[in-house]
Amino acid sequence: MRGHRGETRTAMTTWDAESFDEFERTGWSGRADAYRAGFGRLTIRLAEPLLDAAGVTAGTRVLDAGCGPGPVAAAALERGAKVTAVDASPEMAELAGRTHPGLDTRVALLTELPFPDGEFSAVVGNFVINHLGDPAAGLAELRRVLAPGGRLALTCWEKEPMRALALFGEALAESGVPYPAGVPQAGPFLADSTAPDRPSAFHGLLADAGFADADVETVSWLHRVDPDQWWTDLVTGTPLTGTVVSRLDAASYAAVRRIYDRKAAAHAVGDGFVALPVVALLGSATRPA
């Protein structure tokens, strides 16, 4: 279970799929516990809707692709499903297994899953498609391991109004601090910030991968959090922002943080908390029989 969108404005055109995937794998190193304690509290909001969209009930054979610390897999287990969870990060897979005893966890790339064709009757992925260098290849592999008639459900970040994830990128841009070289903006699925209709693009991606009955819905909520804690969550629990911040000198860091604090204060709700708007897409489809 992952999720981070739009910390930067740098184009992805110089990043091929293999290079981006390698950045992702190395970027998550040392961040599993921080992600679970911080950013994961945001993404878990879609766990139950994701399982509903995939039709997960007692006895369903479920693959949780890109499981992260495992909350979606754990929720599926609570429904009585038979769950296998995979993540490209060994630390994430280990944390998922340690946090949820009895969960079948594997380390595997989403584009190279170690399962036979049609192994699962449902496949879910919570904010993982935006972490793939080649989303189409990832969907092809998910379709392969999904049984005919099985359901796929994936979540992804929407563009505007996505205040929770936009604050850092906007603060960096407004500060005039140059974006560090050698760090991507986002995965290809989210890199084009000018895309006029991301739900339609998501729907098209599912259809092009050979899925039927594709549907994409928009889900919105407010993330209530201490703004200092949210800064820490972004910096310690996500590879893109964390890498960017690690490249800033002291003056640049202070400039970006000042603007972040000002922007966050516009969403204050009292008692030192802010309520940041979050917008996500929930896509679901069926593998034709």
If one compares 174 and 162, the residue with the highest pLDDT of the two is 174
Helix (H, G, I), strand (E, B) or coil at 131: helix
Question: How is residue 213 annotated by DSSP?
Answer: E
10 pLDDT band, cuts 50/70/90, is very low
Helix (H, G, I), strand (E, B) or coil at 136: helix
pLDDT in the model for residue 3: 45
Q: What is the pLDDT of residues 258-269, one digit of tens each?
A: 999 999 999 999
Average pLDDT estimate for 69-98? 97
pLDDT in the model for residue 191: 61
Core vs surface per residue 59-89: b (16+ CB within 10 A) or e: ebbbbbbbbbbbbbbbbbbebebebbbbbbb
162 pLDDT band, cuts 50/70/90, is confident
Q: What is the pLDDT of residues 88-103, one digit of tens each?
A: 999 999 999 999 988 9
CA-angle at 97, arms to 95 and 100, nearest 5°: 100
Contact 155, 44 (CB under 8 A): no
Name 262's Cβ contacts closer than 8 Å, sequence gap at least 6.
none
First-to-final CA distance of the chain:
28
Average pLDDT estimate for 107-128? 96
166 pLDDT band, cuts 50/70/90, is confident
235 pLDDT band, cuts 50/70/90, is very high
**Residue 286 is encoded by which pair of tokens?**
């069926």
8 pLDDT band, cuts 50/70/90, is very low
Peptide bond into 199 cis (omega under 30): no
**Residue 12 is encoded by which pair of tokens?**
């992805």
Decide if pLDDT at 9 tops 80. Answer: no
Average pLDDT estimate for 68-83? 97
Decide if pLDDT at 7 tops 50. Answer: no
Which among 112, 115, 125 is positioned nearest to 147, based on CA atoms? Answer: 115
Q: CA 270, CA 274: separation in Å to the nearest integer? A: 7
Q: What is the pLDDT of residues 182-233, one digit of tens each?
A: 888 766 776 654 455 778 889 999 999 999 999 999 999 999 999 999 999 9
pLDDT in the model for residue 196: 54
Core vs surface per residue 15-32: b (16+ CB within 10 A) or e: bebeebbebbeebbeebb
Q: What is the pLDDT of residues 29-71, one digit of tens each?
A: 999 999 999 999 999 999 999 999 999 999 999 999 999 999 9
- CATH code: domain 17-286 is 3.40.50.150
Least confident segment among 9-13, 77-81, 119-123, 222-226: 9-13
Mean pLDDT of the chain: 90
pLDDT in the model for residue 64: 98
Decide if pLDDT at 138 tops 70. Answer: yes
**Residue 262 is encoded by which pair of tokens?**
């000002």
